[in-house]
Amino acid sequence: MTKSACSARRDDDMNQDKLNELRDYYDDTDVANEFADAELETRTTDEVMVSTSIRLPQSLVDKVRTQAAALGIPATTLIRQWVIEKATTPPANAVVSVAELERFIAEHNRSMAS
């Protein structure tokens, strides 16, 4: 068995052990009090959200995660913000207000400083 196969097998065993531990805990533990004050979230969005998948280099994903962590948001939220910004930004030959340009520079300077 290769080193990576042994490592994967060990990880599977650890995952199975953790799953068994969690199963045993919740089989024997009353968690009703933890949900007593729970409220059903009934908000909906105006537009249906869909999931998509893209392949990115690991180094790029790591950079995105670092920037997202610095902002205190999930990486997927940051990526969605970037896609929305790019998709809704006028073409390069369009006129941009000074205020919009200053905002853009300030936001990108913050993310580059992180």
pLDDT tens-digit profile of 12-24?
Answer: 666 888 999 999 9
Report the pLDDT value the prediction gives residue 58, as an integer from 0 to 100. Answer: 93
Largest CA distance in the chain: 65
pLDDT higher at 108 or 3: 108
User: Is residue 7 over pLDDT 70?
Assistant: no
Give the burial class of 13: count Cβ atoms within 10 A of its Cβ; 0-12 exposed, 13-18 middle, 19 or more buried: exposed
The pTM score is: 0.45
Q: How far are the Cα atoms of 18, 23, 36, 108 from residue 28, in angstroms, in the given order? A: 16, 9, 18, 51
- Please report where in the chains the tokens 């533990």 appear, as a residue: 29
CB distance 114 to 70 below 8 Å: yes
Q: What is the mean pLDDT of residues 52-63?
A: 92
